Amino acid sequence: MEKQEKSENFRDRYEFVISFIAVIVSFGAFKEELQAFFIDIGFFNFNLSQYFLFVVIGFSASFYLYSIERVFSKTVVGNWKIFNYIIISAYSIFVLLLFSPVIIILSYLATLLVTSFNKIPSTLLENIITTLLIIISCGAGGASIIIAIKYFRNKRERTIEELEEQELEELDLASRLYHDGYFSQAILETFKTLELHLYKVLNQHNLRAQKQHFNRILRYAQEHNILQESDVQKISEIKKMRNGAIHVEKSFTKEQAENVLHFTKDFIKRTSK
């Protein structure tokens, strides 16, 4: 049920984005008509055709940056922090484009307000309008970046919360399998718990990693002093046991399963924030 809800939210979000882009692109069929509509905000004016071209270019840039992050995140350089800044830039451009009509309206109203004072000298009037437009533009740009950073952080926090829930579920399942006498299956589930926990810890330290690349996660955690050498050795042993249980259907004893569970619980306790 929860997965279905997430899938629906994902679909709804991207349906909105695609619909918004489709509306913008469709205005290209009315290029000549749009060129007749000019927006004058003091010393700077443009027509609607130019505005929609700007929006299309902006969306293309946002999508390009987003695609770069998605492609390289699955490679050996995917843990570089620069990709965090790239995805934040993509979000910032997207948010700025969404609010661009509001920015234009505010700029237009500010220009009308200032020009209504007839006694202001023309040179001073132009300086005031320029200053107001710079303030509005910088404020909008700053707000877009703040919104993008907040969205990025909230997304990471939601990921951590989901991982914590999955971790508890897997550990509980491993404990039940152990008590029911399914020792090999208990080791399998315990290893899944370790995978989830390590990925969660990296996220808590704001470090990039791909959940499906466990060896990279292990190495990356060791490089950032999240793991001790003894932890790496023990986790590697558990991984070998897990591979044996999967590929050659190797059976394990109660003592082995108990040791794996004990280490995992102690490890989670030591490394949890």
Whether 163 is in a domain gets the answer no
C-alpha distances (whole Å) from 71 to each of 67, 178, 272 are 6, 40, 30
Q: How many domains does the chain have?
A: 2
Instruction: Please tell me whether the overall predicted TM-score, pTM, comes out greater than 0.75 for this model.
Output: no
The answer as to whether 160 is a domain residue is no
pLDDT band at 143 (very low <50, low <70, confident <90, very high): very high
18 plus 141 within the same structural domain:
yes
User: Looking at residues 248-269, what average pLDDT do you find?
Assistant: 89
The per-residue pLDDT for range 78-95, each reduced to its tens digit, is 788 888 899 999 999 989
Q: Is 161 within a domain?
A: no
CB 178 within 8 A of CB 258: yes
Of 181, 161, 190, nearest to 268 (Cα)? 190
Last residue of a domain, one of 138, 155, 172: 155
Q: How confident is the model at residue 192 (pLDDT cuts 50, 70, 90)?
A: very high
Query: In whole angstroms, how far apart are CA 61 and each of 91, 94, 96, 99?
Result: 10, 9, 12, 16
Q: What is the pLDDT of residues 150-175, one digit of tens each?
A: 988 898 899 999 999 999 999 999 99
Flag whether 165 is in a domain. Answer: no
44 phi and psi, to 5 degrees?
A: -130, 130
Show the domain range for 254: 181-271
Helix (H) or strand (E) holding 40: strand 38-41
Residues 6/8/10/16 CA torsion (nearest 10 deg):
-150
Nearest to 209 by CA among 75, 68, 63: 75
The residue count of the chain comes to: 273
- Concatenating the DSSP letter of every residue in 55-75 gives HHHHHHHHHHHHHHHHHHTTS
pLDDT, mean of residues 125-129: 74
- 206 and 100 in a common domain: no
Summarised one tens digit per residue, pLDDT across range 211-238 is: 777 888 888 888 888 888 889 899 999 9
Is pLDDT above 70 for 14?
no
**186 within some domain:** yes
Query: Average pLDDT in the 12-41 region?
Result: 64
